[in-house]
Amino acid sequence: MRVVLQRSKEASVTVGGEITGRIQSGFVLLVGITHEDTEEDARYLADKIVNVRVFEDEEGKMNHSLLDVEGEILSVSQFTLYGDCRKGRRPNFMDAAKPQQARPLYEYFNEVLKEKGVKVETGVFGEMMDVDLINDGPVTLIVESK
């Protein structure tokens, strides 16, 4: 699994003109799943994400986690994270898991995040989405399970 994590002051996702998820301070997660990913990968990433220390303490140092600041998550499925652009001009998405494999793992990942005590909002799997966010910092990380 591959996740692009963006620290955000606020964010929302809209599908077909309707807001399907909205958060205040926390993380926007763009979540990509490949063929080899398992529930173990999802659990590993969920734990890593809620505990990564990228929120400032009283001295301005990145010392607090999402759990520490009671932040929220906007999780958006993103198969294009496994696009391969090395050949030609059109990305190859062969490394992205097919929807029938990716959807259950994406949903499981979001459930694990919720079990850790985090409010999780989402887009709609497999749909065209408009993601609106105010990136805080900006702080952007790529987190992978492999």
Q: Which of 79, 93, 100, 140 is catalytic?
A: 79
Q: Which two tokens stand for residue 100?
A: 């029938």
Mark whether 101 is an active-site residue: no
Mark whether 79 is an active-site residue: yes
CA 51/CA 25 separation, integer angstroms = 15
Q: Which of 24, 38, 80, 93 is catalytic?
A: 80
Nearest to 5 by CA among 140, 144, 145: 140
Q: Which of 34, 78, 109, 122 is catalytic?
A: 78
DSSP assignment of 77-141: E-GGGG-B-SSSSS-B-TTBPPHHHHHHHHHHHHHHHHHTT--EEE--TTS--EEEEEEEEEEEE
Mark whether 80 is an active-site residue: yes
Which residues are catalytic, by number? 78-80
